[in-house]
Amino acid sequence: MIRFDVLILGGGPAGCAMAVELAGSGLSVGVLERTRYDDTRLGDTLPPEARVWLERLGVWEACQGVPHVTSPGIVSLWDTPAPAETDFLFNPYGPGWHLDRGRFDATLADLAQARGAAVFTGSAPRDCRVAVDGGWEVLFEIDGGCERALCRWLIDATGRKAWFLRRQGMRPRAQDRLVGVVAHFRDCAAPDQRLHVEAAPDGWWYSAPLPGRRAIAAFLTDSDLLPRGDAPLRSFWEERRAETRLVSAVFANGVLEAPLRIVSAGTAWVDRVAGEGWLAVGDAALAHDPLSGQGLRQSLASGWRAARALREAAEGSVRAGDEYQAWADEGRKAYERERASFYGRVTRWPDAPFWSRRREQAAVPGSPGPLAPPASSRTEGFVRRGESGARRA
Ligand SMILES: Cc1cc2nc3c(=O)[nH]c(=O)nc-3n(C[C@H](O)[C@H](O)[C@H](O)COP(=O)(O)OP(=O)(O)OC[C@H]3O[C@@H](n4cnc5c(N)ncnc54)[C@H](O)[C@@H]3O)c2cc1C
């Protein structure tokens, strides 16, 4: 039986930021990460403002070593007939980065470990329950076997999967059916390093260069607007791509690396992000529409903020959980307003279901309205925009 003050489920940006901030503060910290950071991760563009949080966590210098392509700005065809350009030249935080996400997350995990956290990769929880003397007892898989951990606080940082929340019957509420049809390309010669964003009649596109002459392109639409089957999906994607004016420039001469992948990309949240002996951070608490471009920044921020709440609770504050909840509520309301405002600006296709659904939802803020999937199928970041080996304590 291993004992921790804090056990964090999920070693993505939110979980690792929390571990980095808590380790060395007098609390013992464990992280269970399902992968060995050798999977293909999405959410590659780190906006300039994320630097604030990396500096606050004391990891900005160390992150310079993560492979990245500098992002000098954004070019978008959103609500105007001509491309709108945002240049980061005068941004006080400098440029953004198009990251190798696997290496970014693994670097944060290494930094947490260097500060004293016990990071277990290739390890996932199998079961958890309230311990006899309070706190949580967690059964987790590691090295082909199972071990038990006891902790005072359990953190859900498992991203959109929200493993702990769902297990407790707190399913995140999906606000729409947005999915991304994602393609990765290799051998790209992309002279333009900006993030490209473009609205289309039944969704929107983004594309960005990645380190190693790679690139990503994704078409975001509602799941019910997609055809079924691999071949129809590929034709659908190619037809939409042929109609684009901007985004193809990034990957035009690249070679498709793997079949198209469909991923959940909608907004979803839980009303409660803090409870007796637990907190939810990052996408587990509020999964961002990629249009916001703020998912990574917000995950780092929520990890940092949750770590502060736990330190205050350890020092005897009885209000720390409430304050974290209030911080999350305020952030979610600002996110909702911004999401409605960005989607509401596109008026070019008044009768297209993708856009009319979003207008209707914006008319009743906070209500899933016609966008939400039926309750039975609810599963699950706006334009401003591999390493392996289990680590043991
Ligand atoms: C298509 C798409 C594009 C995006 N593009 C951007 C972008 O360009 N910029 C941006 O800022 N944001 C972007 N986002 C959002 C961004 O990816 C997320 O907001 C961010 O990754 C959330 O971080 P997180 O740590 O909360 O969750 P995640 O990054 O999902 O990390 C969760 C971690 O938990 C692990 N895990 C999951 N289940 C378990 C389990 N049961 N046990 C143990 N470990 C587990 C996972 O392996 C992972 O390491 C995008 C999202 C999508 C869908």
179-193 confidence digits (pLDDT tens): 999 999 999 986 789
List Cβ neighbours of 162 (8 Å cut-off, separation of 6 or more): 156, 170, 171, 172, 270, 280, 283, 284
- Contact 269 CB / ligand 1 (< 6 Å): no
**Distance (Å, rounded) from C-alpha 287 to C-alpha 165?**
13
DSSP state at residue 125: E
pTM of the prediction?
A: 0.92
Helix boundaries (H) for the chain:
13-22, 50-56, 60-63, 101-114, 163-167, 230-242, 295-314, 320-344, 353-363
**Distance (Å, rounded) from C-alpha 71 to C-alpha 81?**
24
* pLDDT on residue 364: 63
Amino acid code (one letter) for 118: A
Long-range contacts: 336-339, Cβ < 8 Å, 24+? 336/365, 336/366, 337/365, 338/292, 338/382, 339/267, 339/289, 339/291, 339/292, 339/382
Closest ligand 1 atom, residue 16 Cα: 25
Closest ligand 1 atom, residue 47 Cα: 11
- Contact 121 CB / ligand 1 (< 6 Å): no
137-167 confidence digits (pLDDT tens): 999 999 889 999 999 999 999 999 999 999 9
The string of DSSP letters for 249-276 reads: GGTTT-EE-S--EEEE---EE-S--EET
**Distance (Å, rounded) from C-alpha 282 to C-alpha 159?**
6
Among 18, 32, 42, 250, which residue has the most ligand 1 atoms within 8 Å of its CB, making it the best to mutate?
A: 42
* pLDDT on residue 90: 87
Confidence bin at 252 (pLDDT 50/70/90): confident
308-334 confidence digits (pLDDT tens): 999 999 999 888 999 999 999 999 999
Q: Take atom 45 of ligand 1 and give the residue whose Cα is closest.
A: 10
The second-level CATH assignment, the architecture, of 2-61+100-174+269-330 is 3-Layer(bba) Sandwich (3.50)
**Distance (Å, rounded) from C-alpha 35 to C-alpha 49?**
28
* pLDDT on residue 43: 86
Q: Of 118-132, 340-354, 364-378, which gets the smallest average pLDDT?
A: 364-378
Span from the CA of 76 to the centroid of ligand 1 (angstroms):
24
| Segment 267-288 mean pLDDT | 96
- Determine contact, residues 125/34, Cβ cutoff 8 Å: no
Confidence bin at 231 (pLDDT 50/70/90): very high
The residues spanned by each domain of the chain are 2-61+100-174+269-330
